[in-house]
């Protein structure tokens, strides 16, 4: 059984961490024009888009995704806790490490899902009710191939005027990625009736399944 102090901190965590509704609604943005094929059997991508619960919940629905792990990226330290990150000053963002089969689903496909239902890329250091640098929208390209595609896609969506405000999603160095504590992993799946999941993350999953029938499991 958890000690009382640990239970109190977990309660605080559950109250503070929630997903964010993308653009006040959900629309399927145009596909990326630049797609660089990867014939490998496995690829890793890291995305930050507000609270990692919702980001993880959506990517777990994608066919070809083998795992989605909630954690932290973008900070200097490879050893950090959730409490330290949300306190500010570590430089980390809540992020999700996605391991996928690029022969089944491409990095470009994952970016399209991200911009369609996961995050509002025009909000700086916030998503929905969550505010702070650790809730920024960011990509962490693992190689030049991912970096080129991400830069091209952000520019493409900006030129197309998809959003009313400029895209502020950043491209940042990939390492280190630090997995979050166990109770954060598969949180939406394990707690489907949690108020934040119901209000902010379940709609994202439903929108993905409605808009991306060709990509869903």
Q: Which residues are catalytic?
A: 51
The DSSP code for 4 is H
Q: 């609270």: which residue's tokens?
A: 51
**Cβ–Cβ contacts within 10 Å for residue 197, how many?**
24
How many whole angstroms separate alpha carbon 5 and alpha carbon 111? 39
Cβ neighbours of 164 (radius 10 Å): 7
Distances (CA, A) of 189 to 46, 173, 184: 20, 29, 10
CA-based torsion, 189, 27, 35, 126: positive or negative: negative
């Amino acid at each position: 059984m958890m000690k009382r102090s640990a239970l109190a901190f977990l309660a605080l965590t559950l109250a503070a961490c929630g997903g964010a509704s993308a653009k006040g609604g959900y629309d399927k943005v145009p596909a990326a024009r630049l797609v660089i094929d990867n014939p490998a059997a496995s690829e890793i991508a890291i995305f930050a888009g507000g609270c990692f619960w919702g980001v993880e919940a959506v990517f777990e629905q994608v066919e070809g995704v083998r795992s989605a792990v909630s954690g932290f990226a973008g900070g200097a330290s490879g050893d950090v806790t959730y409490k330290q990150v949300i306190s500010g000053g570590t430089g980390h963002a809540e992020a999700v490490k996605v391991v996928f089969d690029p022969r089944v689903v491409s990095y470009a496909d994952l970016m399209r899902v991200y911009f369609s239902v996961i995050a509002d890329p025009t909000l700086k250091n916030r998503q929905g009710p969550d505010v702070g640098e650790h809730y920024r929208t960011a990509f962490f390209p693992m190689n030049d191939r991912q970096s080129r595609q991400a830069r091209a896609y952000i520019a493409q969506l900006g030129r197309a005027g998809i959003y009313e405000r400029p895209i502020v999603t950043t491209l940042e160095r990939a390492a280190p990625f630090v997995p979050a504590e166990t109770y954060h992993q598969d949180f939406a799946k394990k707690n489907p009736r949690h108020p934040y999941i119901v209000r902010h993350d379940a709609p994202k999953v439903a929108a993905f399944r409605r808009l991306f029938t060709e990509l869903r499991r």
